[in-house]
Amino acid sequence: MLILASASPRRRELLMQAGLEFVVEPADIDETPLPDEAAAAYVQRLATEKAQAVCAARRARASDPFTVLAADTAVVLPDALGEPGTILGKPADAADAERMLALLAGRTHAVMTGIAAVHSGRPSRTVADVEITQVTFNPMTPEEIAAYVATGEPLDKAGAYAIQGYAARWIPRIDGDYFNVVGLPIARSIALLAEADQEPVADRLDNSINPKEL
């Protein structure tokens, strides 16, 4: 059994698109960054803690083997030296979304997704990684930013944008995995699942899913 430790509809849709059969059991953990914690370390730690928390809760009530997949994504602005620095989470409100988009406009930033897979064996086996994609935004006028925020799309997205939505009109280039920016790097996630439970991923395919219907 595969468990997705996330309530994100985008991650659910991506796993379905990949043809995997799974159940959803969101994790509830403290997501406060540690002092001076680097962005890549932060997203990998959160993904690992989410997967392990769901694994522990499920193992307490079930004996059948299972694997938990968890992820955490952050939009990260470069600092003055060009290194990943400021983490942009989900905006608190429309004004905060406008602030974030003004920071992103005309610049290249990193989208980092920590991924973790935990197999329920005794002892459990955990593997984790971070996928990084560079995303370039065209300049945006204040009027364009306000109009985009008014659509409501940015309000529940890390960094206040959705590459698969209206924001695509301002993104001329990415370097890396597109699906990582959507919310889950599919290929890397499947590789981690195979590494965690040593089961061919083809055995997980749900043949009842038609990708054309997604």
Structure tokens at 63: 């004996």
The structural domains of the chain, ordered by start, are: 2-213 (3.90.950.10)
Report d(CA 9, CA 92) in Å as an integer: 20
Structure confidence at residue 22 (pLDDT):
95
Low pLDDT (below 70) residues in the chain: 80-84, 198-214
DSSP string, 104-147: HTTSEEEEEEEEEEEE-SSS-EEEEEEEEEEEEPPP--HHHHHH
Report d(CA 208, CA 198) in Å as an integer: 24
pLDDT digits (tens, 9 = 90+) for 124-183: 789 999 999 999 999 999 999 999 999 999 999 999 999 999 999 999 999 999 999 999
Q: Which residue in 64, 72, 93, 197 is the catalytic one?
A: 72
Cβ-in-10-Å burial (0-12, 13-18, 19+) of 84 comes to middle
Report d(CA 40, CA 43) in Å as an integer: 6
- The SS3 of residue 37 is coil
Helix (H) or strand (E) holding 27: none
129 tagged catalytic: no
Report d(CA 108, CA 76) in Å as an integer: 10
Q: What pTM, to 2 d.p., does this model score?
A: 0.86
